[in-house]
Structure 1
Amino acid sequence: MGKVFSHMTMSLDGFIADPRDGTGELFDWYDAGEVAVPSADPRWSFHVDENSAGLLRGILANTGALVCGRRLFDHTNGWGGSHPVGAPVVVVTHRTPPDAADWKTTTFAGGVAEGIATARDIAGGKDVTIASANIASQALDLGLVDEVCVSLVPVLLGEGIPYFATLTGAPHRFDDPEIIPGKRATHLRYVVRK
């Protein structure tokens, strides 16, 4: 069975976006190198260093489903029906959109536990990636996360949307990180202690 992990790009002071959902230079590492890594959607391709390319290739190859919240889904317009990771998307929401049937690769779930369970079924033994900070926090509190990945970018935002906030089950503990140095980002992978 695949693992459930969250992966976010984060500033040194813990934010994944500015207060207006802008990512600005947080995502510069996706275009900071010479190695091309095509995504599953031809609209997006990454140009990163070799170490970051290995990380991205692993995520793209091993993800069988992606879980996000309604806010991110709306902000990205559902990635036009095709997320760059190339896997079906499970949206955790209490407000299923009226056009839900039109989203052929998207499933809507009413809660985090249901969303993760649905994603595990869809993934068919591959990994499940959590792509929303709020969903990642709730899933961690529920004991549903196996690994936390952080692509740490050398910038301080000062304020914004934190990667983990309002944790009710803290403290959460992790094993020592696997550290992958990259250009414009240091990638950290932490196995969650259960």
Structure 2
Amino acid sequence: MGTVYSTASMSLDGYIAYDDDDPGALFDWYQAGGIEMTTAMDDLTFHVTEPSHDYLRDQTLALGAIVVGRRLFDVTDGWKGRHPYDVPVVVMTHEPPADWSYTGAKDFHFVTDGVEAAIRVAQTIAGRREVSVAAGEVATQALEAGLLDEVRIDLAPVVLGSGRPYFTGGSTRVLDEPTTIIQTARVTHLVYPVPRG
């Protein structure tokens, strides 16, 4: 099985969005450079720096599936049936949507029996590739259950003041020293291993 990691752009004070789910300036780094990166969505193209391009390229090439909560799925409207990274999405939810459908929608899986089941489904889909877990409630539950191998943070030089935190509670965890530190325009990419045991 591949690495299971949580990831998000985060403010200096630990938030991934305002309370209304607006990320504010946290995503500015996606348009802070001269290298174009297309996505699976026709209306979404990034313009990043070379270090961010290389970091994102390596991450997306290794990615096999994404696990998200129902809130993120609803906020994005399921990315209109196709995630920007064009990989399968496992949605952890109490109840699958009854009326969500887009022409050409593919590889959306709704799991109703908790984070362990959702990650297990994602790992089965991903095979040897990596599984990304969205920050917030899902990442918190995965960390508490001992299911995360890494915490990845795209740290933006922004203070939101309040909002939705990267982790929403749980017990104290001390992560290992970062294995990746990439500082570039409007972001520092960080990768922290999660110690086992």
Calculate the TM-score normalised by the size of structure 2: 0.93
**Which among 166, 183, 186 is matched to residue 185 of structure 2?**
183
> How many residues align structurally?
192
Q: For residues 41-190 of structure 1, what are the structure 2 equivalents within 5 Å?
A: 41-99=41-99, 104-110=106-112, 111-167=114-170, 170-177=171-178, 178-190=180-192
Q: How far did residue 185 of structure 1 move?
A: 0.4
Given that 1:67 and 1:132 are in contact with CA atoms closer than 8 Å, whether structure 2 keeps it comes out as no
Q: Which amino acid aligns with 1:135?
A: V
Q: Report the aligned-residue RMSD.
A: 1.4
Calculate the TM-score normalised by the size of structure 1: 0.94
Task: Give per-residue Cα distances to partners, 1:91-114, cap 9 Å, x unaligned.
Answer: 000021114687531000111110
Gaps of 5+ in 1: none
Q: How far did residue 164 of structure 1 move?
A: 0.7
Q: How far did residue 189 of structure 1 move?
A: 0.4
SS at 1:120 equivalent: helix
1:112, 1:61 → 2: CA distance? Answer: 24
SS at 2:84 equivalent: coil
2:161, 2:41 → 1: CA distance? Answer: 33
Q: How far did residue 143 of structure 1 move?
A: 0.3
Given that 1:39 and 1:60 are in contact with CA atoms closer than 8 Å, whether structure 2 keeps it comes out as no
Comparing 146-155 with 99-108, greater Cα deviation is found at: 99-108
Gaps of 5+ in 2: none
